[in-house]
Amino acid sequence: MAYLFDHEGTVFFAIFMSFWAVSFLEYWKRKQASLAHHWDVLGFEEEDERPRPEFCAKAPCMEANPITGVMEPYFPDDTRARRWLTGLGILCGMVVIVIIFMLGVIMYRVLISIPLFQNKALRSQAQSIASMSSAVVNLILIMSLGQVYQLLAQILNDWEMHRTQTEYEDNLTFKVFIFQFCNFYSSIFYIAFFKGKFVGYPGNYTRVFGLRTEECANGGCLVELAQQLLVIMVGKQMINNCQEVAVPKIKQFIQRWKLKGSLGDRESTRWEEDYQLVENEGLFEEYLEMILQFGFITIFVASFPLAPLFALLNNWIEIRLDGAKYLCEVRRPVAERAEDIGIWFSILDAIAQIAVVSNAFLIAFTSDFLSRALYKYKHDGVLDGYTNYTLSTSPEGSMSQTCRYLDYRDENGAYKVTYFQLLALKLLFVIVFEHFVFGVGKLIDMAVPDVPESLEIKIKREAYMAKQALSELQVESRVL
């Protein structure tokens, strides 16, 4: 089963997805510039954006705007900085809680494996059962912690008193995404890069709290990583889609029940019917869902190549569910001007960079691609005897009987020369992979302008015409 994901094609698919992520962001910048010009919001955030009503109501003093000179509500920067640092401390505390829960899931997986291995009927499936059940437990904890922190982040962001809506949304997005990144991806990063790497060897196993550290299954950690991704990614999509359907209907039922009888026997007007709909909560949740999905299909695509397919299916369903929700179940949103998608683009760019590094290390250190390549190089391109090549013999006297285990060690437990050759090859692969992908990505960035040429000409033409009109107005005023 591991060979379905762990083969030569995985390398090329990971490279393709890295290039796709870079190209996607470049062409989104062009689309964003076109939309900003079409809706006349180029430079809006720097020049025209007004303070938030909540900020105006709670600000303790007034001060002149350095750009317009108009007196506006003002909140001291040093007080805001102290509040922001306090929020950052709470964020770090929540991340620590995520790590504690992750360790709890690891302990659950280790402890549940013991009775399963002792049962002869379940012994062959013990590791799979423990892995899948722990993934489901992990998903429940992830979704619960995510909801708790989003409420907490909203309270902290209100307390920090951000002046404009853009600043408010960017800071809220930063807080929530950092937490959700750790929340959703911490267990996946653990399986990908840490599980099975510090096991030790017979007679000298590494132990934590008296328990041996986890080992990868016979097929390697890549299979378990794919299972974890399947449960978390697809499980999250299913839960979110169920919420998209159920939550608005429940809220609408409660809203109509509260307003029942308030209109008497007369027929309600159009605006009264609209008021009975659920209040629109904005697009923050939709953005967050898409950004996390972007991370799943780029950061870990080398271990789960089917992730883009599941994302495509989810988007196809999501569009229709959102369409039904916004047309039939929620109130019409209040339009707000924005020049771009704000900090979300910076997050997408950061995820694309992380994806290159992550896929390089996944292919090099988690998959068996390079170890098979090295064996083929040494044995005229064939894999005969490869399994025996990857196994070591337990040190004499360490076990009741001689056993074989997956590692490159000699009879005394010391690493063989092969281990260091393979390590050097893995590090070389990571360096070459990263430099190649980042280099080509930079070329794509240079080759594709952020603003389409036709739009750039149009902007220059409008600036020229505005300058000409101003000159004519000045001449007319002098004549008069």
Q: Give the model confidence (pLDDT) of 281-290 as tens digits.
A: 888 888 889 9
Angle at 476 (CA atoms; ends 474, 480), nearest 5 degrees: 115
Instruction: Compute CA 173 distance to the chain's CA centroid, rounded to the nearest angstrom.
Output: 12
Contact assessment for residue 205 and residue 212, using Cβ atoms and an 8 Å cutoff? yes
- Own/partner pairs, 133-137, CB within 8 angstroms, 24+ separation: 134/105, 134/106, 134/108, 134/109, 135/227, 135/228, 135/231, 135/232, 136/231, 136/235, 137/105, 137/108
Query: Which among 154-158, 203-207, 334-338, 465-469 has the top mean pLDDT?
Result: 154-158
Model confidence at 191: pLDDT above 80: yes
**CA dist list (Å): 416 to 38, 223, 371, 408:** 64, 27, 14, 6
Query: Residue 87 — φ and ψ, nearest 5°?
Result: -60, -35
pLDDT of residue 305: 84
Q: Binning pLDDT at 50, 70 and 90, where does residue 424 land?
A: very high
* Cβ-based neighbours of 370, under 8 Å, separated by 6 or more: 363, 364, 422, 425, 426, 429
pLDDT of residue 1: 55
| Token code pair at residue 55 | 């900020």
Mean pLDDT of the chain: 83
Span 224-240, pLDDT tens digits: 888 888 888 888 888 88
Q: Which helix (H) or strand (E) holds 130?
A: helix 126-159
d(CA 356, CA 435): 10
Contact assessment for residue 130 and residue 113, using Cβ atoms and an 8 Å cutoff? yes
What is the mean predicted confidence (pLDDT) over 430-439? 89
What is the mean predicted confidence (pLDDT) over 191-200? 81
What is the mean predicted confidence (pLDDT) over 87-92? 87
Model confidence at 408: pLDDT above 80: yes
pLDDT of residue 5: 65
What is the mean predicted confidence (pLDDT) over 297-324? 88
More confident residue, 85 or 266: 85
Of 75-79, 134-138, 269-273, 411-415, give the lowest mean pLDDT range: 269-273
Q: Binning pLDDT at 50, 70 and 90, where does residue 431 land?
A: very high
pTM assigned to the model: 0.84
Model confidence at 265: pLDDT above 70: no
pLDDT of residue 266: 67
Query: Residue 245 — φ and ψ, nearest 5°?
Result: -85, -45
Query: 468: buried, middle or exposed (CB in 10 Å: 19+, 13-18, 0-12)?
Result: exposed
- Own/partner pairs, 85-88, CB within 8 angstroms, 24+ separation: 86/156, 87/153, 87/156, 87/157, 87/159, 87/160, 87/175
Model confidence at 169: pLDDT above 90: no
Model confidence at 255: pLDDT above 80: no
pLDDT of residue 480: 60
pLDDT of residue 448: 81
Would you call 72 helix, strand, or coil by DSSP? strand
Residue with tokens 């979110």: 240
pLDDT of residue 159: 87
pLDDT of residue 428: 93
What is the mean predicted confidence (pLDDT) over 298-307? 85
More confident residue, 116 or 341: 341
pLDDT of residue 163: 83
**CA dist list (Å): 139 to 45, 193, 474:** 38, 20, 67
Q: Binning pLDDT at 50, 70 and 90, where does residue 328 land?
A: confident
Half-sphere exposure of 169 (CA within 13 A, CB side): 20
Q: Binning pLDDT at 50, 70 and 90, where does residue 219 land?
A: low
d(CA 451, CA 457): 10
Q: Where are any strands of DSSP class E within 183-281? A: 200-201, 204-205, 207-208, 211-212
More confident residue, 415 or 127: 415
pLDDT of residue 479: 66
pLDDT of residue 157: 87
Q: Binning pLDDT at 50, 70 and 90, where does residue 427 land?
A: very high
Model confidence at 9: pLDDT above 70: yes
Query: 355: buried, middle or exposed (CB in 10 Å: 19+, 13-18, 0-12)?
Result: buried
Model confidence at 66: pLDDT above 80: no
More confident residue, 424 or 408: 424
Q: Please state, for a pLDDT cut of 90, what percent of the chain lies above it.
A: 5
How many Cβ atoms from other residues are within 10 Å of residue 219's Cβ?
15
Q: Binning pLDDT at 50, 70 and 90, where does residue 393 land?
A: confident
Q: Binning pLDDT at 50, 70 and 90, where does residue 259 land?
A: confident
Longest dimension (CA), the chain: 109
Q: Binning pLDDT at 50, 70 and 90, where does residue 75 land?
A: confident
Would you call 291 helix, strand, or coil by DSSP? helix
pLDDT of residue 385: 84
Of 47-51, 266-270, 428-432, 467-471, give the lowest mean pLDDT range: 47-51
Contact assessment for residue 54 and residue 475, using Cβ atoms and an 8 Å cutoff? no
d(CA 347, CA 232): 21
What is the mean predicted confidence (pLDDT) over 42-61? 75
**CA dist list (Å): 31 to 37, 65, 311, 447, 449:** 10, 32, 22, 16, 11
pLDDT of residue 313: 93
Model confidence at 262: pLDDT above 70: no
